Structure 1
Amino acid sequence: MTVLTDRYACEREAIDAGLRAAAARLPAPAARIAAYHFGWTDAAGAPTDASSGKALRPLLTLLAAKTVDGDWRRAVPAAVAVEMIHNFSLIHDDIIDRDGLRRHRPTAWKVYGVNDAILVGDALHALAFEIIAEAGGECARSGAGLLAQTVRALIEGQLADTRFEERESVPLDECVAMSEAKTASLMGCATALGALFGGGTPAQVEALRDFGCRLGLAFQHVDDLLGIWGDPAVTGKAVFSDLRNRKKSLPVTAALGSGHRDVAELARLYGGTGLLTESELTRAAELVESCGGRRASRRAAETLTAAAAGGLASQPLRTDAVEELTSLAASTVGRTN
């Protein structure tokens, strides 16, 4: 991602400035926690150069605006709102999953406590709608409605994800539907808002929303692969993090439904309640791969990315901007963090 996102220094600066201005509206204690979460400060409040994340979703918003108009600055408020919603969900997800690390640092709830982290997540959620409303006009009205629909989808996906952990088996189609709600919906919202704020037609907005949704599902396939095989030094998360939590992720669900002779052993490991040992975690990862889960998710990510790019061909869009958008999509599927 580094090479591609470096191409968008101006866009990233605009996103960062918008995020900082929005976060500054919060009460001082909440603003301090938000600044830590975004990587702007350390736990004591001192400025730091920690990672603020890839800013993928707001970048998609700005590039989508370029495909219909060329002037990405019109969509900066939408991009900031999308990133606020994304980070609201990250803070809450870290609490739900009891994840202790994000971007190589302790998560907000580990540093400031669960109650404060929940409230800051709520505050970011509210800020997103405040920013959209301030844009004014039809974009604000339609954008707020789209953002609200997306938040409902995110919650639906998170509810399904947590309930999967209580079930012995989950069909792959249910896991895909959960991922479409929890991850793909926000990427679809990001690209649709970009087209909307860029002045796109309803058909262009819908085409770019479909692009983002397909890319979002591809992204989740890759994210789930990294949750098992990602390098902690690169991802910033503990090794085998999803396996430790017995997540019914896409590659795991595909493996469990493969009918392979090793499925029974994988099901026994996943069906337990005690903490998995390091050797058991290693074995579980081997079983997911031998049952075809790793291969299935990689192929699905590649297929979805190609379909996403192909779906834009039916609309009159700026060719150079479409190439930028699809290049960023391709780099996302090939990422290592």
Structure 2
Amino acid sequence: MVGHTETCPRAAESTPRTLDVLIERRARRQLSEARGAIEPVLRAAIASLADPMDRMAGYHFGWCDADGVEFAGAQGKALRPALTFAAATACGGPAQEAVHAAAAVELLHNFSLVHDDVMDTDPFRHGRPTVWRVWGETNATLLGDALQALALGVLSDGVPEPVTAEAVIRLARATVTLCRGQYQDCAFETRESVSAQEYLSMAAGKTGALLGCACALGALCAGADHRTVSAMHTFGCEIGLVFQLVDDAMDIWGDPEVTGKPAHSDLIHRKQSYPVVCALSSDTAAGRELARIYQARQPITAARAARAANLVEEAGGRDHTAQRAATALQSALDALPPDIASADLTALAQLVAHRDR
């Protein structure tokens, strides 16, 4: 059964440096249960695609190899579906009512991942060649388009009828906002400077919009009132900001063996991530040296990326990112209405804030 409705303390006075073992177990159990609950819906939706697109999707989701042979590969975290289920049960609804909404947000998330890999020319995901590396950029783009369409179909076919229209509108609007955020993220790569506020606005679209939508859909499926649905949306948006800030930090200082991502990929691509934005605007010697690396014509090698990572930290980028993530986490927890069973949502929020992959 997905979702647990007992209550727990809302939040600590300050963000802890490590995640409590019991909270982590609770959160990871939710991720596992959410993944299992939505997989039949995902597989049925993807089976409706013609070959080789169904095979491409199965490969992307970690179900099979490039030839379509079943493969027990690494799969996504299923954070967004878990948030949908947690929001539904927090509002007193049965988790089963939110299965299609949870599957829809996962399909939309993977639409963005497939396109993101093409735009960033990322060669690997979960330790395997990305879809565009196997089938080409054009086919990968088409697969992303198909996943987006499937998301809307799954949502409209399966959510409770009284909220179908609002649910579809929310997912469609989240898609537009996500695309705008992704556009801003790409545009930042050609600019010499980006303000912290511009970055946070981009992150609210690229990452926050879909997490906010995931939580709002869960509340809708549970029959929550508009006040509660809005509060859930705010919670999810703030958690999305936490997720993006932690992701930015992991790209620079995470262990590639743990994260599954190439070392310093953002730095090599001259990404204006939040730690970099903070460092470049720090008016420090380290920040000025980092600016010279970013503005140089030659490619950023692995060695120069490692130097850049040290400079970002020296200029205060790491500390500023941790502080801003802690603020967003607290804002998310403060947004939760006091009359809901928030234990699962709180556990997932803490996991997002303290994850290492």
TM range (shorter): over 0.9
Where does structure 1 differ by over 6 angstroms across 4 or more consecutive aligned residues? Answer: none
Change (3 A) 1:99 1:9: closer
SS at match of 2:261: coil
The residue type equivalent to 1:64 in the other structure is: A
The residue type equivalent to 1:332 in the other structure is: V
Pick from 313, 320, 325 the counterpart of residue 345 of structure 2.
325
SS at match of 2:143: helix
Does residue 1:6 correspond to 2:22, yes or no?
no
SS at match of 1:262: helix
Change (3 A) 1:55 1:7: closer
1:265-319 C-alpha deviation (Å, 9 max, x unpaired): 11010112321122211110001000111111111112211221121145x212x
**Structure 1 residue 263: Cα displacement:** 1.4
Q: How many percent identity over aligned positions?
A: 44
- Are the counterparts in 1 of residues 93 and 223 from structure 2 also a CA contact under 8 Å? no
1:94 aligns with 117
1:163-218 C-alpha deviation (Å, 9 max, x unpaired): 11111111111011001110011100010011011111100100000000000001
Pick from 310, 318, 328 the counterpart of residue 294 of structure 1.
318
2:6 aligns with none
SS at match of 2:114: helix
* TM-score relative to the length of structure 1: 0.96
Q: Which runs of 5+ in 1 are unaligned?
A: none
Higher relative contact order (CA 8 A, sep 6+): 2
1:263 aligns with 287
How many correspondences in the alignment? 333
**Structure 1 residue 6: Cα displacement:** 2.8
Pick from 65, 69, 73 the counterpart of residue 50 of structure 1.
73
- Are the counterparts in 2 of residues 104 and 235 from structure 1 also a CA contact under 8 Å? no
Q: Distance in 2 between matches of 1:4 and 1:149?
A: 28
2:216 aligns with 192
Does residue 1:278 correspond to 2:307, yes or no?
no
Does residue 1:218 correspond to 2:238, yes or no?
no
Alignment of 1:167-182 (within 5 A): 167-182=191-206
The residue type equivalent to 1:227 in the other structure is: D
Q: Distance in 2 between matches of 1:158 and 1:179?
A: 9
SS at match of 2:132: helix
Q: Which runs of 5+ in 2 are unaligned?
A: 1-23
Change (3 A) 1:282 1:10: closer
* TM-score relative to the length of structure 2: 0.90
**Structure 1 residue 5: Cα displacement:** 2.0
SS at match of 2:263: coil
SS at match of 1:54: coil
